[in-house]
Amino acid sequence: MITHVALKMQDGWVESLARPNRHHHVIAMMREKGYSRADIAYSTQGFLDDNETFLDRLQGAAHALACGQITELKTGPDLFSEDLW
């Protein structure tokens, strides 16, 4: 099950927030922590599952469908937090 929205930095570090947050909330938190706009721009948006595994938007979609968290995607092949909560 998907539990968090997340951004994975180029160095592998992941910043995340639990539901019902959205990716823009994570971005705002990162800006408050001092991350640069470039750091954020080059990060990968995705999710954390209940094992704290990072999944990009495509992997997140497959996972959420496979575990029955959602039954369809609203906006294409990628998962968005709006699909979940």
pLDDT digits 0-9 by tens, 2-14: 999 999 999 999 9
Residue 17 CA: distances (Å) to CA of 2, 3, 4, 71, 82 = 11, 9, 5, 23, 15
Residue 2's DSSP bridge partners are 49
Number of structural domains in the chain: 1
Residues spanned by the domain of 26? 2-84
pLDDT band at 75, cuts 50/70/90? Answer: confident
| pTM listed for this prediction | 0.94
